[in-house]
C-alpha cells in the first residue's frame, strides 16, 4: 500500500512539473514593439477581444499564467490578467534591450533626459545592441551603448531580444 501511495505521489509531482514546463517561462518580457506603441492585453485570446490595457513596449516581469495553442498567452501585468500575443513575448532576461530606428542622422545620447542636455555620444543609424538601464520616464529611456550611458527619446526605440554573443575573431596568419 505504501509503495502504491509513493508511486501516485511521484506521478502527481511529475505531472505538475510537466505542466509547468509546457507553460514555458515563469515570466516574460515584451519584444519587437516600438517605443511609441505598447502590447495590447486583451480580455479574450483574440484580436477582437476588448483591450484591458497596454503593456509598455519595454515591460519585463510579466507573469506567465498559461499558453494557448492559438498563439495567445495568458499573462498578468500590473494586477491585470488577460491575453497577449505570444509572438511579442520572450523569456524574461530581467533586462531591457533595444534597437534604434527612424532618425535621419546619428542620434545624440543625452547626458540628461532633455533635448538641450550635453551630448555623451551618438548612435549610428539603425543602431542595435542598446541595453536599457531601467524603465523609461516620460519620453526618455536611459541606455548603455558600447559603454556610453545616457538618455535617448523613447519614440526611436524598439524592444528586442538580447544580443547574441559572437565569438571573437582570431587574426589569421599571412
For every residue of 87-138, DSSP letters joined together read GGEEE--SSEEEEE-S-SSPEEEESSSSTTSPEEEEEPTT-EEEEE-S--BT
The reported pLDDT for the residue numbered 93 is: 79
103-129: average pLDDT:
95
Q: Which residue has the higher pLDDT, 162 or 15?
A: 162
The reported pLDDT for the residue numbered 8 is: 39
Mean pLDDT of the chain: 85
Sign of CA dihedral 25, 30, 31, 32: positive
81-110: average pLDDT:
94
The topology under which CATH files domain 96-159 is SH3 type barrels. (2.30.30)
Q: What are the boundaries of each domain within the chain?
A: 24-91, 96-159
The Cα 159–Cα 48 span in angstroms is 24
Residue 173 has pLDDT above 80, yes or no: no
Classify burial at 133, counting beta carbons within 10 Å of its beta carbon; exposed 0-12, middle 13-18, buried 19 or more. middle
The reported pLDDT for the residue numbered 14 is: 35
The reported pLDDT for the residue numbered 163 is: 81
68-76: average pLDDT:
90
Q: For residue range 118-136, list pLDDT tens digits in order.
A: 999 999 999 999 999 988 9
pLDDT band at 172 (very low <50, low <70, confident <90, very high): low
The reported pLDDT for the residue numbered 83 is: 97
The reply to whether 24-91 and 96-159 are identical in fold is: yes
The topology under which CATH files domain 24-91 is SH3 type barrels. (2.30.30)
The Cα 57–Cα 43 span in angstroms is 19
Could you tell me how many helices (H) and strands (E) the chain has, helices first? Answer: 1, 14
The Cα 149–Cα 96 span in angstroms is 14
133-155: average pLDDT:
95
69-77: average pLDDT:
92
Q: Which residue has the higher pLDDT, 14 or 53?
A: 53
Amino acid at each position: 500500500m505504501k509503495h502504491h501511495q509513493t508511486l501516485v505521489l511521484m506521478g502527481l509531482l511529475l505531472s505538475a512539473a510537466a505542466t509547468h514546463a509546457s507553460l514555458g517561462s515563469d515570466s516574460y518580457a515584451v519584444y519587437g514593439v516600438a517605443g511609441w506603441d505598447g502590447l495590447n492585453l486583451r480580455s479574450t485570446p483574440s484580436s477582437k477581444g476588448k483591450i484591458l490595457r497596454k503593456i509598455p513596449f519595454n515591460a519585463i516581469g510579466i507573469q506567465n499564467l498559461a499558453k494557448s495553442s492559438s498563439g495567445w498567452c495568458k499573462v498578468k501585468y500590473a494586477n491585470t490578467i488577460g491575453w497577449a500575443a505570444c509572438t511579442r513575448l520572450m523569456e524574461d532576461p530581467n533586462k531591457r534591450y533595444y534597437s534604434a530606428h527612424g532618425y535621419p542622422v546619428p542620434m545624440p545620447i543625452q547626458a540628461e533626459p532633455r533635448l538641450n542636455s550635453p551630448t555623451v555620444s551618438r548612435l549610428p543609424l539603425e543602431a542595435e545592441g542598446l541595453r536599457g538601464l531601467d524603465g523609461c520616464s516620460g519620453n526618455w529611456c536611459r541606455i548603455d551603448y558600447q559603454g556610453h550611458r545616457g538618455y535617448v527619446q523613447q519614440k526611436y526605440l524598439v524592444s528586442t531580444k538580447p544580443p547574441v554573443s559572437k565569438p571573437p575573431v582570431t587574426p589569421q596568419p599571412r
